[in-house]
Amino acid sequence: MLLGTYTLSNKGYRSKKSDMSINEKKKVWVVGHKNPDTDSICAAIAYANLKNQADGNRYEAKRAGELNEETKYVLDTFGVKSPGLITDVGAQVKDIEIRKTPGVSGKISLKRAWEMMKEQNVVTLPVTDKENNLEGLIITGDIATSYMDVYDNSILSRAKTQYQNIVDTLDGTMLCGNEHAYFMKGKVVVGSANPETMEQFLEDDDLVIMGNRYDAQICALESNASCIVIAGSPQVPKTIVKMAEEKHCVLITTDYDTYTAARLINQSMPIKFFMRREQLVTFETEEYIDEVREIMSKEKHRDFPVLDEDGKYIGMISRRNLLNMKKKQLILVDHNEKTQAVDGISGADILEIIDHHRIGSLETMSPVFFRNQPLGCTATIIYQMYQEQKVAIDKKVAGLLCSAILSDTLMYRSPTCTPLDKAVAEELAQIADINIEEHAKAMFQAGSDFGSKTPEEIFYQDFKTFSQDGVEFGVGQLSAMTQEELEQVRDKLLPYLRDVLVERKIEMVFVMLTNIIEETTYLICAGEKADDLVEKAYHVHKEGDYHVLKGVVSRKKQLIPMFMSAMQEQ
């Protein structure tokens, strides 16, 4: 986002020197599920790379949660930077059209502000300083109040009105005085009476509006007026001009008659005297539209200023702008369940889904490209798409895709692994120049290093939620090379599972502690009906803290389908 700098123009508003478009063409984010695993991250990176080569540099890999140790090891091994974190993809202020109403100086006159409103067809002007900080707002109602409800003849001086504003408002000419000086003391008087009468009400520093009457002008000067406005297209005698200079009195002439000049002069006051300064309702570019809409519904204002992350003013929005917001565009990989997707997914525009899981609950507003194959890993599908589009796979991408397959298939031990997964992994390993067995063991060891982590950090390394017939439950999975590692993590997690039920507002929670070498899962769980569900699905009884599920290593293929089937039979 390019933020413009502002300068004060001769019309009083701050014009942008550089392009400040925050509604520039946005990238498409390629993102996996929450609590991402290695496949989710590596598939997002590899697919974004493929799309950029085919469709320009518009695609960017993102992650919807913190990386686990296994994935960190993989990225470090192949020298790949972690994707940026996104926690919510709902529409934000920066996703809607922001009207670039320029900020104006608080010194400009009410008349000039009114003219600018008509020129720009707006009812609100933002008042900013030279650094583009928002100082206040002036709306048409404020100008109407100044014109209709002000009966105070000293308000012009209390508003510290600049003489230049008076000259501009009256389309006048300054014959003597400093146009940059201010009328700061005295009242506004119409000098229509004879000099003897005028002497009774004229005071020092008053501003006097009068016609081309020599004796009245002398009277005003002798009464120490600070400014005299002579109306009616006058030819002012040189003696009056000289006397005004000697008395440091500002002398202004105007073609308007006395009545019109008196009526217009209040419009020369600076808008900062009438602008709204307190309790301004502003929005930042990063704020989410749902929150903005709620706030707008409680306010009577029509327009609202938008500030950037540094608090600088950048434009205005109104309720009407919310109708034309541009949703964030996403490509989802390795999931198609709404409960597993990044927050705010309902407010995003999903373009594609690439996955290898069961068809879930995610709905889209329009048709999308959806590729779902019964394979052991999303990375295998991504590899196929590289081949189909005849795009070469470099060493880094090959390493990422191979690692994802080894992770998701537990180095081919998972029943989800297909011959194609294994063949693809072997080919990618050659491109990446890695030894599959050594690399896989190093990955798994990195992922099972639980010693320094909190129960929460361990639990959410690979956790997904599911729903069946209105019942929501969650399943996490942790894999290790030895039983000792699994027992250590069991002792950390068991007390934490009750907290998860409350935090996530789910009815049951399960954690698969999978021994990769034994190809056995030791299932721990919490929830009133959790043990019953396991026993019904697998016909096994609890052994201490575990349900021992021999030969079960896949959440996707061996656990979730059994749970779903058992729940449907209830």
The gap from C-alpha 2 to its chain's centroid, in whole angstroms, comes to 15
Least confident window among 170-174, 362-366, 367-371, 422-426:
362-366
> Half-sphere exposure of 53 toward its Cβ, with a 13 Å CA cutoff?
13
The whole-number pLDDT of residue 453 equals 84
The whole-number pLDDT of residue 25 equals 56
pTM: 0.67
Judge whether residue 150 has pLDDT over 70.
no
The whole-number pLDDT of residue 346 equals 87
- Domains recognised in the chain with CATH numbers: 28-90+328-446 (3.90.1640.10), 94-147+273-324 (3.10.580.10), 160-268 (3.40.1390.20), 455-569 (3.10.310.20)
Task: Match 């972690």 to its residue by tokens.
Answer: 82
Residues listed for the chain: 570
The whole-number pLDDT of residue 321 equals 84
Judge whether residue 371 has pLDDT over 80.
yes
CA distance 529 to 160: 76
Token couple for 35: 């609590």
The whole-number pLDDT of residue 364 equals 84
Work out the average pLDDT over 432-442.
Answer: 95
Single-letter amino acid, residue 127: V
Best mean pLDDT range from 20-34, 387-401, 434-448: 387-401
The whole-number pLDDT of residue 470 equals 86
Work out the average pLDDT over 544-550.
Answer: 93
Judge whether residue 6 has pLDDT over 60.
no
The whole-number pLDDT of residue 570 equals 64
Q: What is the pLDDT of residues 449-473, one digit of tens each?
A: 787 789 998 898 889 999 888 899 9
Work out the average pLDDT over 32-55.
Answer: 95
The whole-number pLDDT of residue 20 equals 36
3-state secondary structure at position 184: coil
Percent above pLDDT 90 for the chain? 71
46 contacts: CB under 8 Å, gap ≥ 6: 379, 382, 386, 397, 400, 401
Phi, psi of 545 (to 5 degrees): -90, -10
DSSP-derived secondary structure letter, 243? H
The whole-number pLDDT of residue 8 equals 35
193 contacts: CB under 8 Å, gap ≥ 6: none
The angle at the Cα of 555, spanning 552 to 487, to the nearest 5 degrees, equals 65
Least confident window among 5-19, 203-217, 308-322, 499-513:
5-19
Q: What is the pLDDT of residues 494-513, one digit of tens each?
A: 999 999 999 999 999 999 99
Could you count the other beta carbons within 10 Å of the beta carbon of residue 163?
Answer: 22
Mean pLDDT of the chain: 90
Q: What is the pLDDT of residues 249-298, one digit of tens each?
A: 999 999 999 999 999 999 999 999 999 998 899 999 999 988 898 999 88
Task: Match 């006048």 to its residue by tokens.
Answer: 172
Phi, psi of 125 (to 5 degrees): -120, 135
Best mean pLDDT range from 120-124, 340-344, 521-525: 521-525
E strands, 47-172, where? 59-63, 84-85, 124-128, 134-139, 161-162
Torsion, Cα 488 492 494 498, to 10 degrees, reads -170
Work out the average pLDDT over 241-247.
Answer: 95
The whole-number pLDDT of residue 456 equals 92
Judge whether residue 483 has pLDDT over 80.
yes
Closest CA to 524 of 468, 457, 477, 484: 477
CA distance 264 to 266: 6
CA distance 29 to 47: 10
The whole-number pLDDT of residue 7 equals 35
Could you count the other beta carbons within 10 Å of the beta carbon of residue 192?
Answer: 15
The whole-number pLDDT of residue 234 equals 78
The whole-number pLDDT of residue 103 equals 94
Token couple for 481: 């090379």
In this structure, is the dihedral angle defined by the CA atoms of residues 64, 67, 68 and 70, taken in order, positive or negative?
Answer: positive
Judge whether residue 3 has pLDDT over 90.
no
